[in-house]
A and B are shown apart, each in its own frame.
Chain A
Amino acid sequence: MDKDFAARRRRDLIIAAVLAAIAALTPLFVKDVVVQNIMILTLMYAGLSQSWNILSGYCGQISLGHALYFGLGAYTTELLFTKFGVLPWFGMLAGGAVSALIAMGLGYPFFRLRGHYFVIATIVIAEIGLLLFHNWEWAGAAMGITIPIRGDSWLKFQFLRTKLPYFYFALALCCLAWFVTWWLENSKWGFWWRAVKDNPEAAESLGVDVFNSKMGAAAVSAFLVAVGGSFYAQFVSYIDPESVMGFQFSLLMALPAVLGGIGTLWGPVLGAAILIPLTELTRFKFGGSGRGVDLIVYGTLIVLISLALPRGLLSLFSRPKKTGAAR
């Protein structure tokens, strides 16, 4: 089992490296900006979902309020940039740090809650964040922040026509989130979380410091999502509360992981790779009709996949082996 596990981890790492390399080369062949746009969004959501998966999948604390961290990342970066001239790269780190701190601050009372109570608390806290930003005049309130565009610049991380820098950043984010997950899987925390999921009381009595590891998961997860938020803000170059902190982001972060396989290393990537292009294509195809057909198609697919494959699409690939290793 242990040997198996080590071999599987090595194999995962190699697959990831190959996939990343292939992904890195695609822009050589794909010149169409629309396809590039879809690829960027896919990678971004894969990264976000991967980060969400750390707290909600591995650690078992299902959060539907990650939009808060996404929005905080976006807002911290752009407020620092537009008001104080701090370069987005530093803003990104600052946003991550702010989110991680807030996640830990919230974790303290939140982790006492169980099940639906926890889920609703996370929804509610993100909603409070959204409302506060909506009413915060200095941060632009409903007007949002328009990022001034002064031409291509790596320093300011903005590019007028080329999408390649965004593409590579999204790829890097996705890889980073994957790698952190990969690394955590085999860490002390990873073992604790598996123990907690199997039997919370037993883990506690064994003296495992579950609480601290959960705080750690929340902080890491929030940090990565906030970096994603900063990226999104630079990419779209305009933010307003609804478009970076809305509830739909919390769902969009969870959906790929759930569809692909929650609490798995590959689930979020697989889920995002299918879900995001699908969302975009149904909109292109049916969106102009004004009759809601895109919603019907999209919703039906979600229902079907979650019903047919409760473990996510990844379960199609897993061999009928003991699930302990497959997870």
Chain B
Amino acid sequence: MTISRRDVLLGATATAALVPLAARAQTSEVVIGVIYPFSGGSAQQGVDAQKAYETALEVINKDTDFDLPLAKGEGLPGLGGAKVRLVFADHQADPQKGRAEAERLITQEKVSAIIGTYQSAVAVTVSQICERYQIPFVSADNSSPSLHRRGLKYYFRAAPHDEMYSAAMFDFFDAMKKKGTKIETLSLFHEDTIFGTDSGNAQAKIAGERGYKIVTDIKYRANSPSLSAEVQQLKTANADVLMPSSYTTDGILLVKTMAELGYKPNAIVAQDAGFSEKALYDAVGDKLEGVISRGTFSLDLAQKRPMVGKINEMFKARSGKDFNDLTSRQFMGLIILADAISRAKSTDGEKIRDALAATDIPGEQTIMPWKRVKFDEAGQNNDADPVLLQYVGGKFVTIFPPQAAIAEAIWPMK
């Protein structure tokens, strides 16, 4: 390649400046806005997300040999090989800032679509702004079920939401019960922001429907300095399964406090988030042998689909980490979005929206264990099957659903 990236950028800026809006379809680059927390308490997720998107960008813009949309050939074929450029913006976990950044990206950076945001509260305002400007918003890694129920036309989520995840957990419990495992009582343990509240509500609802008894339902303050009192209650209740919905910080503290107070549940089935973070396992992995977490991604998929392993290596080269549940969703989100832009053959928001709505990618052409990617009217992909993973011997193995599983669940955990 003789043209450097900078030349492409310069050319693009020049063209963008000269060419009026309608003719933008000819541009040699497509700009996508990426909104994440890059400072503050969840900055780590933002930084990891950045690496995931850059990996996806490499797959899209360079010629790679994967069975993914857009992997082969350079750039977006639908736009004559136009390159994708990402603009990163920091929302600092503040809905107002997310809103302002979305508006800035749309009006000043002229992005064709926006992807984000980790925090669900920010996704609420960002997606509203996108709706107003008729720019598609891809919710890569927000899992709050309320998000797609607001009647927005420009909202899309390829990944499962918490109700789907929780349903999968209870499917798993049902299956285990059939095999004779005793699972009757549950302890819910969730943090008090949108993520934890939504997840706790969903779990409580399904538990009621399927006849499981919730013996404790503890909502705790996120980033508490201490969880001793909470863990003491969990210990007293001593349910068959502990179901935490916690971010990394609280997750680490929870596990440490449990060890200190001598609480060892039969099984922990976690709602992802902190329990899919490398940092948590670096810190307390030795105490978590046999923990089960839901997810949408599993590295052992690489055994069936070798490209998963290769793409993971690309990501690892950038970030020093394996793909996890969040970063894999972010990667896939950008691929799906870019594919839609290419098919739209346009950078116009409405055309991209229609192309997204028409998306139908078979599961084999993703790095996820999903059936396929196809959005319903609310912009939710209902074919994104969650999986349950168990942490065994320092890595995750898929144990549920049966068609994706490569091992039997170890129950009770050690």
Contact = CB atoms under 8 A, between A and B. Distances in A.
Interface of A: 32-34, 37, 41, 131, 134-135, 141-144, 146, 149, 160-161, 232, 236-240, 242-243, 280, 283-284, 287-292, 294-295
28 contacts: A34-B104, A34-B108, A37-B103, A41-B100, A131-B221, A141-B197, A142-B194, A144-B121, A146-B150, A161-B133, A232-B96, A236-B125, A238-B95, A238-B124, A242-B121, A243-B94, A243-B95, A283-B90, A283-B97, A283-B101, A284-B89, A288-B89, A288-B90, A290-B38, A290-B39, A290-B46, A290-B90, A291-B38
A236 B198 contact: no
A142 B193 contact: yes
B340 to A, nearest CB: 24
A236 B90 contact: no
Nearest to A141: B197
A292 B39 contact: yes
Contact of A288 (B88, B96, B121): B88
Given A160-B132, A284-B104, A243 B96 contact: yes
B9 interface: no
A288 B47 CA distance: 9
Contacts of B97: 283
B92 interface: yes
A97 to B, nearest CB: 25
Nearest to B197: A142
A36 to B, nearest CB: 9
Contacts of A149: 128
Contacts of A236: 95-96, 99, 125
Contacts of A287: 38-39, 89-90, 92, 101
B125 A32 contact: no
A88 B57 CA distance: 45
A33 B38 contact: no
Nearest to A239: B95
A287 B101 CA distance: 10
Contact of B192 (A41, A135, A288, A290): A135
Contacts of A289: 38
Given A161-B132, A238-B125, A142 B103 contact: no
A26 to B, nearest CB: 17
A32 B108 contact: yes
B237 interface: no
Nearest to B40: A295
Residue from A240, A283, A291 whose CB has the most chain B CB atoms within 10 Å: A283
Contacts of B47: 290
B312 to A, nearest CB: 21
B198 A143 contact: yes
Contact of A283 (B46, B92, B193, B219): B92
Interface in B167-196: 192-194, 196
Contact of B103 (A33, A131, A144, A238): A33
A41 B103 CA distance: 14
A242 B39 contact: no
9 shortest interchain CB distances as A-B pairs:
A287-B90, A288-B88, A290-B38, A290-B47, A142-B197, A34-B104, A243-B95, A238-B124, A142-B193
A237 B100 contact: no
Contacts of A290: 38-39, 43, 46-47, 50, 88, 90
A295 B90 CA distance: 12
A97 B193 CA distance: 29
Contacts of A283: 90, 92, 97, 101
Contacts of B21: none
B43 A143 contact: no
A51 to B, nearest CB: 19
B212 to A, nearest CB: 22
Contacts of B197: 141-143
A146 B120 CA distance: 12
B38 A143 contact: no
A240 B121 contact: yes
Nearest to A134: B192
Given A143-B198, A236-B125, A240-B194, 8 more contacts: A141-B197, A232-B96, A242-B193, A243-B94, A287-B90, A288-B89, A289-B38, A290-B50
B197 to A, nearest CB: 4
B19 interface: no
Nearest to A289: B38
A243 to B, nearest CB: 5
B64 interface: no
A236 B90 CA distance: 17
Nearest to B44: A290
Contacts of B124: 144, 146, 238
Contacts of B233: none
B269 to A, nearest CB: 22
A283 B35 CA distance: 12
Contact of A143 (B46, B92, B146): B146
A167 to B, nearest CB: 14
B87 interface: yes
Contact of B39 (A160, A237, A295): A295
B4 interface: no
Interface string B73-110: 00000000000000111101011110111011001100
Contacts of A41: 100
Residue from B104, B132, B221 whose CB has the most chain A CB atoms within 10 Å: B104
Contacts of B192: 134-135, 141-142
A146 B46 CA distance: 25
A37 B100 contact: yes
B132 A280 contact: no
B95 A240 contact: yes
Given A32-B108, A149-B128, A294-B39, A143 B94 contact: no
